[in-house]
């Protein structure tokens, strides 16, 4: 380990000239005791705008494309003018213009083709982060801190799963050592774009929506950083969604496994893939609020003490899909295998899975916006069985919600699950499906959508979450 600190600033922390100035102050402080690399997201809402522009281009909506590009350019130009003294603006404005032209070029290609090749989409989306990195580096420089904007395409090496790439850590570490270490050694802050990377043969990729957290953890690991600090607009990881549970509290500490589970089950504060690159080296992560510097934040560590559940998450936009063989000729295990494989091929994430009963029916939970893709894939996979009625028609119930009770301290403590279920039933909320793995880290509970809020509140109160730290 060494004294390197990697910090990531999310979209809201990059959201305006004022926010960038606060990020620069945070960097100035951090630099007093560490070498610093920062990773930045695109300014808030920009990735969405870039994406909808590409969609408009695919649909042939030339006017829509033009208007969106005007908005994107204006936002960055205005931020630049607010952020920098006049003598420093020209160079950055030229960079902004250049990046906007790059985006225009890709959009016109898509307009012409009426199609969005995944590679071009990844190249185009990364422009959001390249714009914010250019602004942020200039902001640091103008406050007297040597900085350089770096396109992660030159550092983060990934596989070629466009739109959801995974890092090649060995190659990334080599590049990080070559490109970032000497600069930090010379007292500079590299400002690396979050979200993007490139394949070994330099094709542009992205790491999935919200992937800048993942970029930051990849770089923290590649650089053997002492710590990773993720700056967002909330005080840390909470014991529940505060919009549902008013007395939800910020957790001081959570474990890697808990953080990953919470993220997978809908807690918005971290990208689910953030933790994996840090595990081997045990690098601690802090989730901090750039809008409230006095709040200590949540520390995410390899192991922590604690009995019972740490937090409860909830997801409303989910659907439960049930599959049931209609003939004894169908081998249940084979059927499950094929169903899961076809979902995997369609890149659909299964949030919970349960099977039971002698008829070998099973059900699983997925995100609502993936239902159509899942059904297409399943119907193609099971076409014969469905046509010959060996399998009952696939059932979809989207009037459901998921709550996940998470905590490493649940393992080996009988009675916790009972208390959770009793608390939910005391609210007259019917439980539709349950899944708990043998690690006892998470209990996933599917309830009717209209009971979700009451169930979350009841579980939070019953387990005294947020107070038991
Ligand atoms: N800008 C990207 C997105 O909105 C990545 C990120 O913000 O983490 O998905
Ligand atoms: Mg983000």
Q: pLDDT digits over 442-465, tens only?
A: 999 999 999 999 999 999 999 999
- Least distant ligand from the CA of 211: 1
pLDDT of residue 322: 96
Residues with CB under 6 A from ligand 1: 11, 41-42, 47, 128, 194-195, 209-212
- Least distant ligand from the CA of 43: 1
Atom of ligand 1 minimally distant from the CA of 210? 8
Q: How far is Cα 363 from Cα 171, in angstroms, rounded to an integer? A: 40
- Mutational pocket test of ligand 1: of 10, 43, 47, the residue with most ligand atoms within 8 Å of the beta carbon: 47
pLDDT of residue 307: 78
- Cα-to-centroid distance, 85 and ligand 1 (Å): 28
Q: How far is Cα 279 from Cα 390, in angstroms, rounded to an integer? A: 45
- Cα-to-centroid distance, 10 and ligand 2 (Å): 5
The DSSP letter of residue 202 is: -
Task: For residue range 216-260, list pLDDT tens digits in order.
Answer: 999 999 999 999 999 999 999 999 999 999 999 999 999 999 999
Q: How far is Cα 404 from Cα 455, in angstroms, rounded to an integer? A: 11
- Mutational pocket test of ligand 1: of 211, 269, 270, 274, the residue with most ligand atoms within 8 Å of the beta carbon: 211
Q: Is the pLDDT of residue 2 over 80?
A: no
pTM: 0.91
Strands 361-367 and 298-301: unpaired
Q: Is the pLDDT of residue 468 over 50?
A: no
Nearest to 266 by CA among 334, 339, 219, 210: 210
- Asked if residues 182 and 206 have their Cβ atoms less than 8 Å apart, the reply is no
Average pLDDT over residues 280-294: 97
Average pLDDT over residues 192-198: 98
Task: For residue range 367-399, list pLDDT tens digits in order.
Answer: 999 999 999 999 999 999 999 999 999 999 999
CATH architecture of the domain with residue range 4-233: 3-Layer(aba) Sandwich (3.40)
Average pLDDT over residues 73-79: 98
Q: Cα-Cα-Cα-Cα dihedral of 153, 158, 159, 161, to 10°?
A: -60
Nearest to 321 by CA among 456, 432, 431: 432
Domain spans, the chain:
4-233, 312-462
pLDDT of residue 359: 66
Task: For residue range 327-349, list pLDDT tens digits in order.
Answer: 988 888 899 999 999 999 998 99
- CATH class of the 312-462 domain in this structure: alpha beta
pLDDT of residue 67: 98
Average pLDDT over residues 179-206: 97
- Asked if residues 234 and 218 have their Cβ atoms less than 8 Å apart, the reply is no
Task: For residue range 100-138, list pLDDT tens digits in order.
Answer: 999 999 999 999 999 999 999 999 999 999 999 999 999
- Cα-to-centroid distance, 328 and ligand 2 (Å): 48
- Cα-to-centroid distance, 210 and ligand 2 (Å): 4
User: Strand, helix or coil at 469?
Assistant: coil
- Cα-to-centroid distance, 206 and ligand 1 (Å): 10
Q: Which long-range contacts (CB under 8 A, 24 or more apart) does 410-414 make?
A: 410/308, 410/309, 410/440, 410/441, 410/443, 411/439, 411/440, 411/441, 412/440, 413/307, 413/308
What secondary structure does DSSP assign to 334-392, as a single string?
HHHHHHHHHHHHTTPPPSEEEEETTTTEEEEEEEGGGHHHHHHHHHHHTHHHHHTTSBP
Q: Is the pLDDT of residue 469 over 70?
A: no
Query: Looking only at Cα atoms, what is the longest distance across the chain?
Result: 78
- Of the ranges 192-196, 308-312, 465-469, the best mean pLDDT one: 192-196
Atom of ligand 1 minimally distant from the CA of 214? 8
- Cα-to-centroid distance, 47 and ligand 2 (Å): 9
pLDDT of residue 445: 96
Comparison of pLDDT for 60 and 330, the residue scoring more: 60
Ligand 1, atom 6, residue with closest C-alpha = 210
**What's the whole-number average pLDDT of the chain?**
95
């Amino acid at each position: 380990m060494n004294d390197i600190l990697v910090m990531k600033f999310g979209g809201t922390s990059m959201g305006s000239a004022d926010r960038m100035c606060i990020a620069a102050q945070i960097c100035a402080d951090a630099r007093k005791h560490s070498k610093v690399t920062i990773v930045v997201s695109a300014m808030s809402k920009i990735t969405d705008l870039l994406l909808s522009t590409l969609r408009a281009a695919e649909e042939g909506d030339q006017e829509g494309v033009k208007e969106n590009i005007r908005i994107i350019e204006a936002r960055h130009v205005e931020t630049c003018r607010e952020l920098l003294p006049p003598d420093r603006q020209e160079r950055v404005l030229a960079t902004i213009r250049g990046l906007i032209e790059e985006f225009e070029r890709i959009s016109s290609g898509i307009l012409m083709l009426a199609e969005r090749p995944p590679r071009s989409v990844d190249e185009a989306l990364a422009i959001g982060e390249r714009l914010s990195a250019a602004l942020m580096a200039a902001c640091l420089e103008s406050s007297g801190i040597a900085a350089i904007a770096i396109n992660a395409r030159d550092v983060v090496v990934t596989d070629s799963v466009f739109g959801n790439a995974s890092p090649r850590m060995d190659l990334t570490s080599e590049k990080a050592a070559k490109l970032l270490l000497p600069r930090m050694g010379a007292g500079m802050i590299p400002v690396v774009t979050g979200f993007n990377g490139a394949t070994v043969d330099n094709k542009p990729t992205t790491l999935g929506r919200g992937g800048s957290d993942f970029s930051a953890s990849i770089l923290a690991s590649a650089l053997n950083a002492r710590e990773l600090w993720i700056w967002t607009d909330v005080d840390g990881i909470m014991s529940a969604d505060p919009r549902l549970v008013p007395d939800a509290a910020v957790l001081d500490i959570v474990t890697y496994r808990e953080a990953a589970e919470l993220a997978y089950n809908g807690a918005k504060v971290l990208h689910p893939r953030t933790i994996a690159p840090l595990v081997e080296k045990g690098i601690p992560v802090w989730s901090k609020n750039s809008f409230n510097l006095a709040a200590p934040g949540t520390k995410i560590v390899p192991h922590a003490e604690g009995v019972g559940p740490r937090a409860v998450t909830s997801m409303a936009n989910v659907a439960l899909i049930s599959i049931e063989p209609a003939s004894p000729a169908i081998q249940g295990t084979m059927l499950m295998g094929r169903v899961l494989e076809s979902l995997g091929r369609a890149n659909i994430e299964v949030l919970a899975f349960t099977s039971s009963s002698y008829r070998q029916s099973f059900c699983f939970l997925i995100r609502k916006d993936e239902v159509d893709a899942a059904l297409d894939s399943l119907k193609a996979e099971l076409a014969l069985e469905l046509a010959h009625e060996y399998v009952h028609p696939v059932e979809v119930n989207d009037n459901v919600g998921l709550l996940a009770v998470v905590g490493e301290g649940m393992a080996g403590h009988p009675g916790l699950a009972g208390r959770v279920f009793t608390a939910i039933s005391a609210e007259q909320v019917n439980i539709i499906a349950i899944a708990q793995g043998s690690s006892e880290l998470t209990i996933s509970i599917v309830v009717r959508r209209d009971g979700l809020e009451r169930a979350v509140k009841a579980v939070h109160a019953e387990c005294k979450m947020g107070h038991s730290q």
